[in-house]
Amino acid sequence: MWPIGQVTATLRDGGAAIGTRTITVTGGPCRFVSGTASPNPVGRSGGSGNLSNDLSISVTTSGVCSAISVSFQPGSASVTRSLTRTSPTATTWTTAIKKNDFNWTAGTKTFTVNGTSNGGSFTLQVN
């Protein structure tokens, strides 16, 4: 498999190099592979709308992606949170949600992934 980016290829005729060409290798479109929220399930702290733990959100993609975010509704309002790659060429994108960031209601929360050609979602159970 060729790496994505600029690649220099040597042209040969019977084994002798006759020149080089630089080509650009591109990946396929950005696609959602999987997503997780951890811990899952998560409780609420003392009956309040705060969570009992911070959340770690992780999304795995394939292809060439430039920006990934997740949209979710912890309570009555929708929220969108940007994710960051774990390294410049990684296919894993992450963000942290602090336990006191939002007022959460109990139930199954759907996280919709934005920035991929095929969409995607995953759930979190808030008890």
Residue 121 is which amino acid?
Answer: S
Q: pTM of this prediction? A: 0.79
Residue extents of the structural domains in the chain: 28-126
Q: What is the CATH number assigned to the segment(s) 28-126?
A: 2.60.40.10
Q: What is d(CA 127, CA 125) in angstroms, rounded to the nearest whole number?
A: 6
Q: What pLDDT digit, counting tens, does each position of 80-96 carry?
A: 999 999 998 899 999 99
pLDDT of residue 2: 57
How buried is residue 33: exposed, middle or buried, by Cβ count under 10 Å (0-12/13-18/19+)? middle
Count CA within 13 A, CB hemisphere, residue 74: 21
- pLDDT at position 75, please? 95
Give the tens place of pLDDT for each residue, 19-45. 888 877 666 789 999 999 999 999 999
